[in-house]
Structure 1
Amino acid sequence: MTSPRVFFYVQHLLGIGHLARASRIASALTTAGFDVTVVTGGSEVPGFPAQGIKSVVLPAVLAATAGFSGLADIHGKPVNDEFLTRRRDLLLDAFHRVRPDIVITEAFPFGRRQMRFELLPLLDAIKAMVPRPILVSSIRDILQERTKPGRDEETVSLVKAHFDHVLVHGDRSFVALPETFPLAGEIEGKIIYTGLVAGPLPKEPGEVFDVVVSAGGGAVGIDLIRAALALAQRSDPRRSWCLITGPNLSETDFAELALNASDHVRLFRFRKDFPSLLKSAELSISQAGYNTVCDILQAGCRSVLVPFTAGGETEQNLRAMRLASLGLAVAIPEVGLSADILRGAVEAALAECPPRSGRLDLNGARRTGDILGELFEARRIQQASS
């Protein structure tokens, strides 16, 4: 029997969290025997998707603002209709070339409304294909709150009309989908929880740092890095600091930070061994993005979380507050962040024992492969008997 073909669409607009999670899932699917093609449409990030996975790279679009208002090209210029039409056609050409058995849309239709210009035509193409591929939506455990009337109803309508299942990459005992998507009950029969998508257990690091500071993709983490750098400069020089700015931090900001770093503070744009660094660190200081938190939990590292809340973002704050309530992290607000405030949080975190592993289900990548394998086999048996 040939390997099931998976067509996995992922669009990152600001940070790299969506791409990183999708890459972990794609790697697990490949290991499980699926033939995976990942379609990406954001800025290039080295290492994502992982080496050996087939990929289709669409002309990049980014969020024009931190509030996800509008689309821009890689140079920050607003995109026009001609650009978007070309992207749509390239996406549809790739879909017809792969002729997948399973299509995964990361975030959509629960997010990525900006991409409807190409995703609604993709849904139509899926519906018209014979045999029709299994279509699933792949979403994180905590969704951004929607304030505009009708948005949740629109999502439910699309799920009912087109999607076979919704894979929620979370532990239901931690956060259940109805907490951030009030209409979840209307599609309850389609929802499957996979567990959190963490990476594998980290290896021993090649370098050891006492404190690891990270800012996700780097597009919105400059204040966190500046506060951490100011604190590091005042700290005991025997304590080593690793500051990872993220690949999307501007060259100007990175150069300014590098000028102010001292001997016990190392500055990096990106570290492939980030999970391993956490394994040996005393403390992690970071935002509260999905993948970063999964890495922290997998490593069993103490942590200070500074959730990103600009532009009305609510997802990271809920995650950070929930982890703090379970004693798995110390959480402080992004607004008004300073070195002094951060110092208090660091002292509080270091006074605690490292969090115990096993509190939450972190096996979501492998479980996603199991689920899709079961769905594909059920569809194959159904088609053979019809």
Structure 2
Amino acid sequence: MKRLLIYSHDTFGLGNIRRIMNIATYLHRAIPDISILIVTGSPMIQSFRIPKGIDYIKLPCLSRTARDGYSAKYLDSTIGDVIRLRSDLILSAVLNFKPDVMLVDKKPYGVKHELRETLNLVKGYLPKTRTILLLRDILDAPATTTKVWEDNAYFEAVNSVYDLVLVLGTPEIFDPRAEYGFPVSTAEKVEFCGYIEPQSLVRDRDTIRAELHIERDERLILVTPGGGEDGNALVRTYIQALQHMPVGAHVRSLIVTGPEMSEPQRNLLHQSALRFPSVKTLDFTNDLPSYMNASDLVVSMGGYNTVCEILSLKKRAIIVPRVRPVEEQWIRAERMARLGLLTTIHPDSLTPQDLLRTVLMELESDQSLRPTLDLTALPTLTSHVSMLLDDTYEPVPLEHLSR
């Protein structure tokens, strides 16, 4: 039985843990005789259906307070105490699970360097354990990311403790080796996987439209700000734009506010939407891909998972990305818009009038003329993990390390 441990960076929203669960589930199905342990602080992990062969250790939750600042989400403890607790739990998990491969998400040393002790010990105690750093397509603006990596000695970490760096993107959209100034020794470890094609089961388009009572001559717009924690402005602006929708436009709207939107904001948006009989609102759905498949246009923020879902279903999209505290979504949206994959509006320029104008334009565009996105990340990642799993580990007795 091969063993894979996945460390999930997990301090904001639903996107990260969804991506990790997609990866873990695919790997479990694709690789025979593999046991997968996920180590995460995401409070949403318990809401996923976990197949046999995958389990998780839940770390105390963190909240992101600024660009790279953190605090305890629920515990009445200092961030230092919580990081020490998380670090000890991670170390214990690795020592006892003894993974053949460790897959670390985003931060080479983990949040606040909580992985540093574990990674150093792995190199001594489990020298056959292979380590992979997993990066999404874009981290943040180049100047910001380069400074963070230099200040935290991440380039040195990649050189000393990682065997491979897998990027869930393509160099045509964003090449971190060039954009972030990777040294040659770091760049040589980088492999591009493409983007993730979601594995969600999608219900029939006609079935969904019938459930929503959408007539044949009506077009459906899905509005989704992802988890919703910072999606109030997008949904509010869209509802305001509906006041100016041309008579006879034959447009229906489904707004999914997201489970992490605050209750006061959600209630206010629901009340505002009641003025429009053509609008249906939901707090949350576990069947969002099916609604997306049934739609004619998607208006959303620019998270990695959402964009992959939209483009895998070949949907028209208007992306209003998050730009603070990091610029990842804006860079992704702008680069993809430049290639003709989608349309984007900077949130600082978002007005009801501009949004409506863009909506009407997109409804008349020909989606079949748009280019396609490389969505081969899961099989490509699986191939890399499988190759590293071919090496078996030979743990060194702990007492030898203290001599």
- TM-score > 0.5, shorter chain as reference: yes
Residue aligning to 2:347: 334
1:59 aligns with 2:72: no
Q: Is the 8 A contact 2:41 2:61 kept in 1?
A: yes
Give 1:55 deviation, angstroms: 1.1
Question: Which of 28, 33, 42 matches 2:26?
Answer: 28
Aligned equivalent of 1:344: 357
Secondary structure in 2 aligned to 1:103?
strand
Residue 191 (structure 1) aligns with:
190
Aligned equivalents of 2:161, 2:55: Cα separation in 1? 25
The CA deviation at 1:233 is: 5.2
Pick closer, same or farther for the CA change 1:368–1:358 going to 2, 3 Å.
farther
| Per-residue deviation, residues 110-151 of structure 1 (Å, max 9, x unmatched) | x85x431x2112212312223431100011111212438753
The structure-2 alpha-carbon separation of the partners of 1:149 and 1:137, relative to structure 1 and needing over 3 Å to count, comes to closer
Q: Does 1:309 align with 2:309?
A: no
Greater CA drift, 300-309 or 325-334: 325-334
8 Å CA contact 2:168–2:192 kept in 1: the answer is: yes
Q: 1:382, CA displacement in angstroms? A: 12
| Range with bigger deviation, 225-234 or 239-248 | 225-234
Tell me, in whole angstroms, the C-alpha distance in 2 between the residues paired with 1:45 and 1:253: 25
User: 1:287·1:308 contact (CA, 8 Å) conserved in 2?
Assistant: yes
Using structure 1 for the length normalisation, give the TM-score. Answer: 0.88
- The AA in structure 2 aligned to 1:255 is N
Give 5+ residue unaligned stretches, structure 1.
Answer: none
CA contact (8 A) 1:215 1:287 kept: yes
The one-letter code sitting in structure 1 at the alignment partner of 2:136 is: R
Answer yes or no: is the 8 Å Cα contact 1:170–1:194 preserved in 2: yes
1: distance between equivalents of 2:41 and 2:394? 34
Matches within 5 A, 1:240-319: 240-262=252-274, 263-311=277-325, 313-319=326-332
CA distance in 1, matches of 2:50, 2:180: 31
Query: Partner of 2:382 in structure 1?
Result: 369
Question: CA 1:369 to 1:47, structure 2 compared with 1: closer, same or farther past 3 Å?
Answer: farther
User: Once structures 1 and 2 are overlaid, which stretch shifts more, 139-148 or 299-308?
Assistant: 139-148
Q: Which aligned runs of 4 or more in structure 1 are off by greater than 6 angstroms? A: none
Q: What is the aligned counterpart of 2:231 among 221, 245, 249?
A: 221
1:144-193 Cα distance to aligned partner (Å, 9 max, x none): 12438753332211100100000111123332223432225331221111
Name the structure 1 match of 2:149: 152
Structure 2 distance, partners of 1:10, 1:121, is 17
In the alignment, what sits opposite 1:140?
136
Partners of 1:198 and 1:240 lie apart in 2 by 27
Whichever residue aligns with residue 147 of structure 1, its letter is T
Post-superposition CA distance 1:43-71 (Å, at most 9, x none): 32564475543111111111124x34232
Q: Give the partner amino acid of 1:140.
A: R
SS of equivalent residue, structure 1 residue 319: helix
2:20 alignment partner, SS class:
helix
Matched with 1:9 is 7
Q: Which moved more, 1:13-22 or 1:225-234?
A: 225-234
Which of the two has higher C-alpha Rg? Answer: 2
AA at the equivalent of 2:72: A
Task: Give the number of aligned pairs.
Answer: 374
C-alpha separation between the residues in 1 aligned to 2:377 and 2:10?
A: 20
Flag the 1:184–1:193 CA change in 2: closer, same or farther, 3 A: farther
User: CA separation in 2, counterparts of 1:367 and 1:357?
Assistant: 24
Partner of residue 166, structure 1: 165
Counterpart-to-counterpart distance in 2, 1:291 and 1:180: 22
Q: Structure 1 289/80 Cα, relative in aligned 2: closer, same or farther at 3 Å?
A: closer
- SS in structure 2 of the partner of residue 307 of structure 1: coil
Write the distance in 2 (CA, Å) between the matches of 1:147 and 1:170: 19
Query: What does the per-residue CA deviation read over 1:17-74, in whole Å, with 9 as the maximum and x for residues that have no partner?
Result: 2212111111111111331111111332564475543111111111124x34232313
Q: Distance in 2 between matches of 1:78 and 1:348?
A: 51
The aligned residue for residue 102 of structure 1 is: 101
Q: What SS class does the counterpart of residue 240 from structure 1 fall into?
A: strand
Q: Secondary structure at the match of 1:260?
A: helix
Contact 1:20 1:49 in 2 (8 A): no
Query: What secondary structure does 2:348 align onto?
Result: coil
Q: Is the 8 A contact 2:228 2:260 kept in 1?
A: yes
- CA distance change for structure 1 residues 89 and 355 in 2, over 3 Å: closer, same or farther? farther
Q: 1:381 to 1:247 in 2, by over 3 A?
A: closer
Contact 2:167-2:190 at 8 Å conserved across structures: yes
TM-score for both structures, normalised by structure 2: 0.85
**Aligned-residue CA RMSD in angstroms?**
2.6
Shift, 1:226, TM fit: 0.9
Structure 2 residue identity aligned to 1:226: R
C-alpha spacing 1:27/1:191, structure 2 compared with 1 (3 Å)? same
CA contact (8 A) 2:273 2:281 kept: yes
